Structure formats: structure tokens, C-alpha cells
Structure 1
């Protein structure tokens, strides 16, 4: 398992903690610090066991109110960054 910490930008959450498979293909767990607690815990449950690229594609570009990004969009970016790091 590969662990990765990501600092999101432009959203309420302060950190995203990811565990993905060693080959970078599958999400093992996701947790957030800050943000909308219930919604972000639900996202973590929904994405567990799913392919990184599938979830990143679904969540990319999601916005929150007037912001050009969201915690989900930041998760998409975090997943792809973690995947690159795991495969390096």
C-alpha cells in the first residue's frame, strides 16, 4: 500500500490522506481533514476499492458554490498525483 498526503487548494478541507495500491491503480482509503465532515466521509466510503483513474475522471471539474474547484475536484487531482508518485 502506498500512502500519500495532499494539501488541497481553494477549498475548506486542509488535507487529503490517500492510501492506494502499490501499483497506483486502486484506492484503498481516503480521508479528509476539515471540510464538510459527513459528505467527505461518504466520499471516502464510496471510492474505496475503485480504480484511481475512474474516480479521478468522475470527480474532475466538480465545483462548490462560486468556487472553480471543490473537495471532490481536489481529490481527483490528489489521486492522479499520488498515482504518479506510486509509479515513480
Structure 2
């Protein structure tokens, strides 16, 4: 297991902390943002493959913002995959 920390941009949340087991998300803790929604999202993506989550979350917008917390989660997972040479497509 490895902890991966990501600082999202353009959203209310300030930090995303992932517990990773290779290409599987074991847990996620998100600081800031809409607490209930992000807790629900964290529970939904626990024990999922990163490729599944990226596919579902990439490009999701929050209102008029060009990004959202789910989109930032996909960006975090893409960064993790690149850093660990994990293919996501």
C-alpha cells in the first residue's frame, strides 16, 4: 500500500489523499469541498481500478467551472498512473 497525495486545482477541495494498492484505490480522504458528496464519492471509488474511475469522472464539470472534484480525482489518478508506469486505457 502506498499513500498518494494530490492538490486539486480549480475546486473547493484542498487535498486528496489516496491509499493505493497498485492500480486499485483502497481508500480516499478529501479535505475541503462538499463534505457529504465527497464522502459518498470516496466510498463509491474504494476498491475500484483507477481506469474505471478515470473513465467515469474525467471531464465532469461543476456548474460553470471547467473542472470538478470528480474531474480532479481523475487527474490525480492519471498523475499516479504516470508516476508508476500504470497503463489506464
Q: With structure 1 as the length reference, what TM-score do the two structures score?
A: 0.91
List structure 1 runs of 4+ shifted beyond 6 angstroms: none
Alignment of 1:67-78 (within 5 A): 67-78=65-76
**Structure 1 CA distance, aligned partners of 2:3 and 2:78?**
13
Q: Using CA pairs under 8 Å that are at least 6 residues apart, name the structure with larger relative contact order, 1 or 2.
A: 1
Q: Deviations over 1:36-76 (max 9, x none)?
A: 00000000000001110111111000000110000000000
State how many pairs are aligned. Answer: 86
Per the alignment, residue 19 of structure 1 pairs with: 19
CA RMSD of aligned residues (A): 1.3
Structure 2: 5+ residue stretches without partners: none
2:64 paired with 1:66: yes
Q: With structure 2 as the length reference, what TM-score do the two structures score?
A: 0.90
